[in-house]
Structure 1
């Protein structure tokens, strides 16, 4: 099946979970990543059970603190 990850189309296996995609994409500091699928944010506790579907659009987001 085909999904889009960070703007790039990728062929992945059926039944791929968000948790496995995070591993496959070698996401840095996965404990701090926020994931959206089709513009909907996922709760971090649902990554293991969220199965991606053909045509899904996945983005990895990192919120950074800072400022004064």
Structure 2
């Protein structure tokens, strides 16, 4: 189980890219942090979630 934005989900074994697709936010401007470390966007395809990881996903919203 992986804790994503405070919710426990079965996402271990998936890449960050796959997780974002599951969340239906792939292609959007986001920042991803795993265990308090920012994951560079260039590493989303190779970063695999592990059981016990704590993930925070922040979406950027424009406005004024």
TM-score, normalization: structure 1?
0.79
User: Which runs of 4 or more aligned residues in structure 1 lie more than 2 Å from their structure 2 counterparts after TM superposition?
Assistant: 62-67
Largest Rg, 1 or 2: 1
Which residue of the partner structure matches residue 34 of structure 1?
Answer: 31
**5+ long unaligned stretches in structure 2:** none
Count of aligned positions? 64
Q: CA RMSD in A?
A: 1.8
User: Matches of 2:27 and 2:33 in 1, distance apart?
Assistant: 14
**5+ long unaligned stretches in structure 1:** none
TM-score, normalization: structure 2?
0.83
